[in-house]
A = this chain, B = another copy of it.
Amino acid sequence: MTDRAGTFDGVHRRNLSKVLGHVHLEGPLSRARLTAMTGLNRSTVASLVAELTARGLTIEQAPDPTNRVGRPSPVVAPDPRVLAIAVNPEVDAVTIAAVGIDGGIPARERIEVDHLPSPDETAELVASALDRWRSGDLRDARFVGVGLAVPGLVRASDGLVRFAPHLLWSDVPIRALVEAATGLPTAVGNDASLGAIAEHLFGAGRGVDDMVYLNGGASGIGGGLIVHGRPVGGSAGYAGEFGQNRPGIAMIDDRRAAEGVLEDEVSRARLLEVVGLDHGDEPALAAALAATDSTAVADEVGRQSRILATALCNAVNVLNPSLIVLGGFLATLAERDLGALEHAVAAQAMPAASEGLSIRVAALGENRLLIGAAEIAFADLLADPLVR
């Protein structure tokens, strides 16, 4: 939104945004429900919906056969032809998907690579996928932007990847590269932060305004915050790097790493090692943990849980969230005994702050990052449906 806030035009845009946002988040809604949710007048909602539909952002469907008295209300749904490209480059593959503003994923490709994907290569892969889809199944779709979920530090102002340790990307202007290759406006975010956004909007954190998300990946621990219902980027966009924190370690014997950095102490690699796996995906790790009754495994799980609990407490004391969502191997770790973790957090955090707190496991599956990436690609359109 430009600086039109406070003007009539601004009101109109905001109202359009509100309506579109509701159907984007909640799915198809009757106009009657939209009037209730927005607080606007029936006639106003009608004209707003008509405008959105004329712009190809929503579609109006026949009323649902609800068994209620009164004239049935047409159902407003996001137009599934409005798409974003979501991209997630990883060490061994680049995943590219077309994500609808209705939440659907009409196309998805995981392109395996036998080398680290370079920035240019990534941009080319995105452009070629876009070309294929545009001339194929998604011929009548409208691509509004690209969103990238990058496993590294991303500067929010210009979408520069400051450092992505596993991709070996350093100061890469990935946003500019992808924009040049595709001609589409592009947004870039840290993968864990986008995971937090996805879980907040569509997953375990739906409707929760103050939330902390922690994700345990193969390479470390990342995360994201939702405060006042909005994702927190910080001054440059680097917020959420829980993995680099140094939590207190109560038992001296619990410390493994010299620096005491969270992601060195609580790590997937250490879990894999103790269960005797060399590699392994998340289900394999979970299965191995469930299968064994070795005390060494139990000790390591306990040790990591204790340290994780302290790290969570620090976040709870400072942010007083109503929800902590754990993903990746942290979910695996916590899921074994969620009650114990909640108990440990309650024991160490301020009593008042832990009262309203719950800890949950991430709800979205492997599409989480794509959904988050699509969300930042849709952000401009959702904030102001009249752009362009």
Contacts and interface: CB of A to CB of B under 8 A. Distances in A.
A237 B233 CA distance: 21
A246 B310 contact: yes
Contacts of A355: 236
A214 to B, nearest CB: 10
A260 interface: yes
Contacts of A223: 318
A246 B248 contact: yes
Q: Chain A interface residue count: which class?
A: 35 or more
A6 B8 CA distance: 9
Contacts of A357: 235
Given A7-B11, A15-B6, A210-B235, A318 B242 contact: yes
Contacts of A349: 244
Contacts of A314: 245-247, 314
Interface stretch (A67-75, A224-232, A325-333): A224-232
B238 A352 contact: yes
A169 B160 CA distance: 51
A123 interface: no
A244 B346 CA distance: 12
A318 B6 CA distance: 33
Nearest to A2: B39
Contacts of A235: 209-210, 320-322, 356-357
Interface in A298-356: 310, 313-315, 317-322, 348-350, 352-353, 355-356
Contact of A320 (B238, B260, B353): B238
Interface in A205-228: 209-210, 223, 225, 227-228
A240 interface: yes
Nearest to A223: B318
A15 B8 CA distance: 11
A232 B320 CA distance: 9
A241 B350 CA distance: 8
A133 interface: no
A252 interface: yes
Contacts of A227: 227-228, 232
Given A11-B11, A248-B248, A259-B250, A236 B320 contact: yes
A210 B230 CA distance: 14
A81 interface: no
15 contacts: A6-B38, A8-B8, A155-B352, A210-B235, A228-B228, A232-B319, A234-B321, A238-B320, A239-B320, A239-B353, A241-B318, A245-B317, A246-B313, A246-B348, A248-B260
